[in-house]
Amino acid sequence: MTTMTARLHPGDLVEVKSPEEILSTLDTEGTLDHLPFMLEMMEFCGRRFQVSKRVVKTCTSGTKAGTSMRVFRADDVVLLEGLRCSGADHDGCQKACMIFWREAWLRKIVNPAVPARVPAEGKEQLQSRLKTKRDSQAYFCQASEILNATEHMPRRERFTTCLSEIREGNFRVWEMVLTIGTWLVWRTRRILLGAYGRGTNMSTPVESLNLQAGEFVEVKPMEKITETLNKAAHNRGLFFSPDMRLLCGQRQRVEKKIEKIIVDGTGEMRKLHNTVFLEGSYCGCAHGAFGGCPRREYVYWREIWLRRVPNSR
């Protein structure tokens, strides 16, 4: 059901096709090669955006298999600058995933002076094809279906995908060298010394600050954070990753309280407590994944790792 389209690269200007055109690419599940076109994506039909990266590989997290690196079977997926899922049609999921776009859903714009094509038909038909739940317990979205839409990337392919990242324009050579070097340093450290920041707790402590969007906080010193972690550097199942240490002692603004997210690969809506997003705090994937990942997920911060800055609103 794939339609022919120009191969896209970072920096290209594209237009999201009309609902009618997108509908023609989807199967009865509302997917193209198992990747759903979600209801939250409909608002972008007819609008123009810049391609930020080609998705050569992507990580998954929160699954029963743990974190893993995977590849889409068809090399036809890109990210568009700044477009994240609002979760509005999935009961307010707050994961804010970067949206994956099949090239068949996009049109490359050669002449920006030509007005955008405003979609006029097919909205209701497209909307009726798209679903938000697989059953009463599991949600249906790009996060829930990521394991179906991708396949495991063997270790032997890691170097070739790094070369592909450079060839596709996602990384410059020196950026990829730095990314691989970062992974190597932290991988070696983990083998020799164990998880960074690991604590001694068998049962990790809880603290509630009831933080709200717009408040300023200060990230606690590393030694204080270590006191909240177990031997695997987790606090109640949430990992304090090595890159998060870079914000220790810094003042940050709370973007929003995070209370529920859909888990990769399962569709489960998982509840979170005493957890927030901090503005501009994204996953430092290079610390844990060879060659990094373009998904750029938000980092989750336990309130026990933060202290409120008085009179900060």
Co-location of 128 and 184 in the same domain: no
Kindly state whether residue 115 falls inside one of the protein's structural domains. Answer: yes
Identify the pLDDT of residue 3. Answer: 42
State yes or no: pLDDT of 248 exceeds 80: yes
Place 223 in a pLDDT band, splitting at 50, 70 and 90: very high
* The total number of structural domains that make up the chain: 2
Give the CA dihedral 181, 182, 183, 186, nearest 10 degrees. Answer: 120
Kindly state whether residue 217 falls inside one of the protein's structural domains. Answer: yes
SS3 state of residue 79: strand
According to DSSP, the residues that pair with 230 across neighbouring strands are 201
Co-location of 113 and 233 in the same domain: no
Distance (Å, whole) CA 221 – CA 123: 51
Kindly state whether residue 168 falls inside one of the protein's structural domains. Answer: no
Co-location of 118 and 86 in the same domain: yes
Kindly state whether residue 3 falls inside one of the protein's structural domains. Answer: no
Co-location of 211 and 133 in the same domain: no
Kindly state whether residue 255 falls inside one of the protein's structural domains. Answer: yes
Report pLDDT digits (tens) over 91-127: 999 999 999 999 999 999 988 888 877 666 789 999 9
Co-location of 51 and 120 in the same domain: yes
Co-location of 100 and 190 in the same domain: no
Distance (Å, whole) CA 11 – CA 16: 15
Domain stops at, among 124, 156, 188: 156
Co-location of 118 and 224 in the same domain: no
Co-location of 130 and 190 in the same domain: no
State yes or no: pLDDT of 1 exceeds 50: no
| Averaged pLDDT of the chain | 90
Read off the pTM.
0.89
Kindly state whether residue 4 falls inside one of the protein's structural domains. Answer: no
Parallel/antiparallel/unpaired status of strands 35-36 and 31-32: antiparallel
- CB-side exposure of 115: number of CA atoms within 13 Å? 3
Domain stops at, among 88, 121, 156: 156
- Taking every pair of C-alpha atoms in the chain, what is the biggest distance, in angstroms? 62
Identify the pLDDT of residue 97. Answer: 94
DSSP 103-168: GGGEEE-S-TTSPP----S-HHHHHHH--SBSSSS-B-STTTTHHHHEEE--GGGHHHHHHHHHHT
Identify the pLDDT of residue 35. Answer: 97
Q: Which residues contact 56 (CB under 8 A, 6 or more apart)?
A: 71, 75, 161, 164, 165, 168, 170, 294
Structure token digits, residue 26:
């989807």
Residue corresponding to tokens 């309280």: 257
Co-location of 102 and 233 in the same domain: no
What is the domain extent for residue 272?
Answer: 180-313
Co-location of 213 and 312 in the same domain: yes
CB 216 within 8 Å of CB 254:
yes
Compute the average pLDDT of residues 142-161.
89
Domain stops at, among 101, 122, 156: 156
Identify the pLDDT of residue 67. Answer: 60
Kindly state whether residue 284 falls inside one of the protein's structural domains. Answer: yes
**Residue 295 DSSP code:** T
Co-location of 186 and 146 in the same domain: no
What is the percentage of the chain residues whose pLDDT exceeds 70? 95
According to DSSP, the residues that pair with 261 across neighbouring strands are 270
State yes or no: pLDDT of 300 exceeds 60: yes
- CA 185 vs. chain centroid, Å, equals 24
Co-location of 268 and 141 in the same domain: no
